[in-house]
């Protein structure tokens, strides 16, 4: 190796593909929330799969570690390099061609760097939807969505990103390209290799393109916002909606009273459509491909009966799509409202749906025992997925060290409860670097050994996004 890594990359990919000035890629070395800050040796931005392959081979030859990065919208530090300044950021933003949109197969084949919102817009143009629904849709990229098995508000009806992927193209840690970009609804020809890479957060290879499922566009919609006397009532209302509305039920989003109050306090044009104060709120949405479906009547009928039965304290059904947007505005503004409320420690837990009320009660009581009055507690989540985000808000006067201390306590409390109920510490955001050591606390030896074995098999040199998700065999273990 007579030449530097940077020169080899520039020679192979062209000088514009390699950025070596630190200021030019400073934004790529930290996450948008400012929680993780790393350094990098350089940033590579290939425009095609062959270039990704070349870049990986060159990095391997120089023993340089690679951090794949999409839209950098993650919250677990999964796309941020470490602090050594020796890692290479492999940014996929320019690998962003739409390869095909197939309205018959209902399949889009898109490169990793395609922006989610753009893919959704293109689907809309051909009268289809791509149902992955994330607050970050304007920045996040399909490759990152696949690598993190993204969730969001459409999971109840359409599944996680894993369920939306039919095929993948991946550059392996040895630089070879695996072409598994098949658009088939059924394929049992050997092991389903794409599953290895979905949700692996860039630690096993670089996803360069995906064949994803489109769906018929809904032609009718109804959105309701209801106040509930208890989270148990929220669960029961969800069960009724699921039973009657079936696949029409596309969202069932839970919010606690304090969460809604924070949104209304801090966010422009945020106003609860309900006057009745209640401890819990549920936003429910129905959709149907049949334009003549009377979904408002269906929703009102379920809600009316629930009102009679005392399950619902009050409710509003949107009279127009503008009103529905206003309801959703409340939900989509949660993260921003929380950041404005103080210093945020949030969790991404899931539990079996039946355990949601118990999970909430226990989190409430144990956090309040741990923190007394020195914090505010917000709950927001996806009722139908059992995915409740517990958000503890500490005073703005807390410094970083106070906050780190509070976060450690809150994590242990919340994660212990979730796992004791058969739940997960990472429902939809992933592990990244933030939860890697928590994984060691909650996974048993067999499962950790399998994860380490998988990492070691596919990436024996430990070159791909090291330090994220899990350390390979032989790596340090938590003591």
Residues 367-396 interacting with its own copies (rule: CB under 8 A) = 382, 384-387
Q: Indicate the residue among 175 and 229 with the shorter CB distance to its own copies.
A: 175
Reported as half-sphere exposure (CB side, CA atoms, 13 A), residue 389 has a value of: 23
CA-nearest of 271, 278, 274, 298 to 286 is 298
Q: Report the distance separating Cα 281 and Cα 275, nearest Å.
A: 12
* 444 makes contact with its own copies (CB under 8 A): yes
* 423 makes contact with its own copies (CB under 8 A): yes
* 296 makes contact with its own copies (CB under 8 A): no
Question: Which residues 6+ apart lie within 8 Å of 44 measured at CB?
Answer: 9, 13, 17, 18, 19, 55, 88, 89, 90, 91
* 151 makes contact with its own copies (CB under 8 A): yes
Q: Taking the CB of residue 422, how many other CB atoms lie within 10 A of it?
A: 12
Q: How far is the CB of 135 from its own copies (least distance, A)?
A: 16
* 198 makes contact with its own copies (CB under 8 A): yes
* 460 makes contact with its own copies (CB under 8 A): no
What are the b/e assignments for 135-146, b being 16+ CB within 10 Å? bbbebbbbbbbb
Touching its own copies, residues 18-47 (CB under 8 A): none
Q: How far is the CB of 423 from its own copies (least distance, A)?
A: 7
Question: Which residues 6+ apart lie within 8 Å of 330 measured at CB?
Answer: 225, 255, 260, 263, 264, 267, 270, 272, 283
Determine contact, residues 209/203, Cβ cutoff 8 Å: no
Applying CB under 8 A, among 49, 73, 153, 160 the residue interacting with its own copies is 160
Touching its own copies, residues 94-133 (CB under 8 A): 102, 104-107, 127
What six digits make up the tokens of 180? 């598994």
Applying CB under 8 A, among 4, 63, 84, 243 the residue interacting with its own copies is 243
What six digits make up the tokens of 233? 């009532």
Q: Indicate the residue among 81 and 152 with the shorter CB distance to its own copies.
A: 152
**Site size for its own copies (CB under 8 A):** 90
- Find the part of the chain contacting its own copies (CB under 8 A) among 5-13, 269-277, 334-342, 450-458: 450-458
* 446 makes contact with its own copies (CB under 8 A): yes
Applying CB under 8 A, among 94, 117, 183, 267 the residue interacting with its own copies is 183
Determine contact, residues 310/229, Cβ cutoff 8 Å: yes
Q: How far is the CB of 68 from its own copies (least distance, A)?
A: 16
* 474 makes contact with its own copies (CB under 8 A): no
Q: Indicate the residue among 6 and 133 with the shorter CB distance to its own copies.
A: 133
Q: Measure Cα distances from 206 to 15, 16, 46, 48, 179 in Å.
A: 21, 21, 12, 12, 12
Q: Indicate the residue among 95 and 249 with the shorter CB distance to its own copies.
A: 249
- Find the part of the chain contacting its own copies (CB under 8 A) among 4-12, 43-51, 272-280, 449-457: 449-457
What six digits make up the tokens of 472? 């390979």
Q: Report the distance separating Cα 156 and Cα 34, nearest Å.
A: 31
Q: Report the distance separating Cα 83 and Cα 415, nearest Å.
A: 28
Applying CB under 8 A, among 267, 304, 340, 442 the residue interacting with its own copies is 442
Q: How far is the CB of 158 from its own copies (least distance, A)?
A: 10
In three-state secondary structure terms, 226 is strand
What six digits make up the tokens of 368? 């309040």
Q: Report the distance separating Cα 474 and Cα 350, nearest Å.
A: 30
Q: Indicate the residue among 261 and 419 with the shorter CB distance to its own copies.
A: 419
* 190 makes contact with its own copies (CB under 8 A): yes
In three-state secondary structure terms, 263 is helix
- Helix or strand (DSSP H, E) at 473: none
Q: Which residue has the tokens 């070349």?
A: 54
Q: How far is the CB of 389 from its own copies (least distance, A)?
A: 11
* 245 makes contact with its own copies (CB under 8 A): yes
* 191 makes contact with its own copies (CB under 8 A): yes
Q: Indicate the residue among 342 and 462 with the shorter CB distance to its own copies.
A: 462
* 60 makes contact with its own copies (CB under 8 A): no
Q: Indicate the residue among 73 and 160 with the shorter CB distance to its own copies.
A: 160
- Helix or strand (DSSP H, E) at 166: strand 165-171
Q: Indicate the residue among 61 and 457 with the shorter CB distance to its own copies.
A: 457
* 290 makes contact with its own copies (CB under 8 A): yes
């Amino acid at each position: 190796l007579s030449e530097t890594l940077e020169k080899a990359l520039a020679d192979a990919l062209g000088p514009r593909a390699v950025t070596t000035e630190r200021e030019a890629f400073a934004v790529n070395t930290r996450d948008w929330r400012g929680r993780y800050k790393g350094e990098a040796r350089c940033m590579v931005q290939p425009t095609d799969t062959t270039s990704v392959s070349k870049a990986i081979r060159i990095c391997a030859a120089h023993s340089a570690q690679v951090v794949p990065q999409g839209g950098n919208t993650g919250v677990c530090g999964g796309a941020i390099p470490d602090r050594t300044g020796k890692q290479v950021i492999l940014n996929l933003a320019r690998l962003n061609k739409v390869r095909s949109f197939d309205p018959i197969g209902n399949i889009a084949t898109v490169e990793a760097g395609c922006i989610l919102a753009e893919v959704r817009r293109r689907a809309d143009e051909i009268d289809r939807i791509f149902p992955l629904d994330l607050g970050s849709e304007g920045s996040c990229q399909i490759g990152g969505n696949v690598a993190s098995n993204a969730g969001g508000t459409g999971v109840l009806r359409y599944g996680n990103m894993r369920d939306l992927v039919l095929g993948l193209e991946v550059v392996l840690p040895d630089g070879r390209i695996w072409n598994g970009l098949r658009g088939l609804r059924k394929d049992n020809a050997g092991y389903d290799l794409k599953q290895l890479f979905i949700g692996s957060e860039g630690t096993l290879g670089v996803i360069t393109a995906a064949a994803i499922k489109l769906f018929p566009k809904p032609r009718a919609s109804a959105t309701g916002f209801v106040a509930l006397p208890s989270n148990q009532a929220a669960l029961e209302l969800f069960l009724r909606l699921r039973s009657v509305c079936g696949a029409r039920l596309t969202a069932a989003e839970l919010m606690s009273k304090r969460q809604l109050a924070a949104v209304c306090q801090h966010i422009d044009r945020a106003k609860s459509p309900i006057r009745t104060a209640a401890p819990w709120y549920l936003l429910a949405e129905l959709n149907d491909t049949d334009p003549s479906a009377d979904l408002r009547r269906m929703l009102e009928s379920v809600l009316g009966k629930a009102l009679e039965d005392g399950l619902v304290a009050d409710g509003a059904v949107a009279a127009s799509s503008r009103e529905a947007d206003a309801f959703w505005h409340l939900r989509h503004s949660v993260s921003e409202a929380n950041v404005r409320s103080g210093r945020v420690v949030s969790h991404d837990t899931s539990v079996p749906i039946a355990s949601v009320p118990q999970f909430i009660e226990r989190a409430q009581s144990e956090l309040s025992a741990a923190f007394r009055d020195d914090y505010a507690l917000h709950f927001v989540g996806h009722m139908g997925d059992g995915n409740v985000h517990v958000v503890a808000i500490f005073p703005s006067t807390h410094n970083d060290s106070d906050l780190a201390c509070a976060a450690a306590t809150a994590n242990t409390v919340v994660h212990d409860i979730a796992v004791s109920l058969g739940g997960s510490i990472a429902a939809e955001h992933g592990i990244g670097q933030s939860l890697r050591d928590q994984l060691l606390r909650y996974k048993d030896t067999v499962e950790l050994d399998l994860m380490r074995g998988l990492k070691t098999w596919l990436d024996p040199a430990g070159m791909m996004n090291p330090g994220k998700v899990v350390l390979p065999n032989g790596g340090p273990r938590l003591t």
